[in-house]
Amino acid sequence: MASDNIEKRIEDYGLIGNTFSAALIDRSGTMDWLCLPRFDSPALFASLLGNDDNGAWKLYPRSAATVTRRYRPGTAILETSFATAAGKATIIDFMPVPDDESKVHVVRLVRGDSGTVDMATEIRFRFDYGHITPWLRRREGGLSAIAGPDGVLLHTPVEIENENFATTARFSVSAGETIPFVLTWFPSHRHPPLNRHDPISMLEETESKWRQWIQRCEYQGPWREQVARSLITLKALTYHPTGGIVAAPSCSLPERIGGTRNWDYRYCWVRDATFTIYALLTTGFVDEAILWRDWLMRAAAGDPSELQIMYGLAGERRLPEYEINWLSGFAGSRPVRIGNLAHTQRQIDIFGELFDTFHATRRYGVAHDEVAWPMQRVLIEFLEKIWREPDEGIWEIRGEPRHFVHSKVMAWVAFDRAVKAVEEYGCAGPVERWRKVRQEIHDDVCAHGFDSERNCFTQYYGSEELDAALLLIGQVGFLSPNDPRYHGTIQAIERELMQDGLVRRYSTASAVDGIAGDEGAFLACSFWLCDAYALCGRYTEARALFERLVGLANDLGLLAEEYDPAEKRLLGNFPQAFSHIALINAAHTLTTAEGAAHQRAAPDGDGSSPKSAGTG
């Protein structure tokens, strides 16, 4: 049976998803996290952040077993195999890709591979993040569980029992047999759906859809397997009805075990926009890039003063944050937070991300949207009024607003891309005025955000602190990668923000943070250092760091937000889209000049640079 949650590690989990929602399953075959019908719905299984009584679905052999697992190649179908003294059996976990959220299924198939294996299952349905025990009713071929607005229907040929608020069964599977369990979500005010699905056909169709999708991947470099797994993960984290991509399917996984930096990441961040667009466009997924761009346009539409840093899956603006006191947290890491208060913050850098996103789509010849440029005109006029103001910065610091250098640099990016829209793509606008503002921002950053004694940019004006986001200064074209100030900033980050060869975002001991506790090394920032090394011609170091980073993924190729070099474990929400996006972009940067770092850094906007990356 599964061990207690406190003994588990974040890297123990595998992801299955259907572009509507997702589940996390540990090495023992226990489903510890499942939100239905959407990524941001209250969890049905929440033992990830508590214990078994907060909801879990165990499926396991009744005798000692050696466990191996893998994804079926090119898919998000997870296979967990158990070899016992009596035989071998495999659990095949997947979520069929539905047409709409009224047809959300979770399928678990127990396949006999050799001999006969005695199996057991124990399911504790707990709605509302483990808070509500539902009403269970026997149905033909299974049972239903209902509480409040939600209902689920479990279909299986196995004889099941309900006792002590748990659903249990014991059964055996022999070579050549496959025993199915199909869980279907439905609104509780409707009749439970009929069981008209053949689980084997559902498996074959799901496998075919995933493989057909990943075959569109155009990356042919040395890390194709890692890039493909990252793309499949991004696809699994995409909310199909809108094209929005959630930062992670989980919430409140800690950035330090036992710490308080536990946030809900089941939403869509504007700051991820440019990185995502390049990751999709450079790998051949133009349709997905268009859907993401269109999601951004709808979410950002309206008064520019009301532009948010993040939104819900469909562009929802209210994401109230609250704490759940009945969950003990992953490995005792509390509080458990639902929602995210950061949606109320002002981060000036998101204007630059939006403009760079639309610039990227124009550069790659993506179909023009007639609404995009008028919206950008409104945004740039507002940015012209506010770029001198302080903000909370890219890392959503919950302290006093500051004049963050990265935020000012991205304001420069917004005006730079607005100028290029006029000069290179024939858009209409007061280009002379925008050039003037662009230069004003550049002069301001260099005057107030640069430490001449240390030859590096700082986290915010007047500060001696550093920020890993400064690694992007060369990538976005604010400075040439050959500029001594950029090299000096890289060197300062190497000296002051690196831990065991990995990059931390900033010093959490500084007064600017406003949050107690430390955190691990940030994986996306470490990939940014790969990009910076490549831009500066340090290819041997770039490749060595990249190989180190991809080696930090778990056995399924999945990355969390952070990594603890001392404890050698993944930290933060999992799997983290930002980490996988950074992996894709860094792989491109190290392989070809079509990579995001080379493209964004090109000073003349034409992407001109060597057609292949160096080898050291």
Say which residue, 6 or 525, is predicted with more confidence: 525
Cα–Cα separations (whole angstroms), residue 21 to 18, 91, 112, 248, 571: 6, 20, 28, 11, 22
Residue 216 has pLDDT above 50, yes or no: yes
Does residue 237 lie in a domain region? yes
Does residue 607 lie in a domain region? no
DSSP line for 542-605:
HHHHHHHHHTTS-TTS---SEEETTTTEEESSSS-HHHHHHHHHHHHHHHBTTSHHHHHH-TTS
Residues 64 and 159 in one domain: yes
Residues 184 and 239 in one domain: no
Residue 263 has pLDDT above 80, yes or no: yes
H, E, C per residue of 27-50: CCCCEEEEECCCCCCCEEECHHHC
Residues 394 and 472 in one domain: yes
Residue 393 has pLDDT above 80, yes or no: yes
H, E, C per residue of 295-348: HHHHHHCCCHHHCCCEECCCCCCCCCCEEECCCCCHHHCCCEEECCHHHHCCCC
Does residue 606 lie in a domain region? no
Residues 401 and 336 in one domain: yes
Task: Look at the chain and report how many structural domains it folds into.
Answer: 2
CA distance 531 to 127: 44
The reported pTM is: 0.94
| CATH number for 388 | 1.50.10.10
Residues 111 and 229 in one domain: no
Does residue 499 lie in a domain region? yes
Q: What is the dihedral of CA 292, 297, 299, 304, to 10 degrees?
A: 140
Say which residue, 367 or 56, is predicted with more confidence: 56
Residue 614 has pLDDT above 60, yes or no: no
**Domain boundary residue, one of 179, 196, 213:** 213
Give the pLDDT of residue 613: 38
Does residue 610 lie in a domain region? no
Residue 481: give the domain boundaries: 216-601
User: What's the mean pLDDT in 450-467?
Assistant: 95
User: What's the mean pLDDT in 340-369?
Assistant: 89
**Domain boundary residue, one of 156, 191, 213:** 213
Cβ count near 258 (within 10 Å): 12
221, exposed or middle or buried, with CB in 10 Å at 0-12, 13-18, 19+? middle
Residues 184 and 244 in one domain: no
Please report, rounded to a whole number, the percentage of residues in the chain having pLDDT higher than 70: 93
Residue 600's pLDDT band (cuts 50, 70, 90): low
Residues 167 and 224 in one domain: no
| CATH number for 106 | 2.70.98.10
Residues 208 and 245 in one domain: no
Residues 93 and 229 in one domain: no
Residue 370 has pLDDT above 90, yes or no: no
Does residue 23 lie in a domain region? yes
Residue 45 has pLDDT above 80, yes or no: yes
CA distance 107 to 118: 20
Residues 224 and 207 in one domain: no
Residue 490's pLDDT band (cuts 50, 70, 90): very high
User: What's the mean pLDDT in 184-198?
Assistant: 84
Does residue 553 lie in a domain region? yes
Give the pLDDT of residue 516: 55
Task: Read off φ and ψ for residue 158, nearest 5 degrees.
Answer: -75, 140
**Domain boundary residue, one of 191, 213, 235:** 213
Does residue 436 lie in a domain region? yes
Residues 150 and 264 in one domain: no
Residues 570 and 514 in one domain: yes
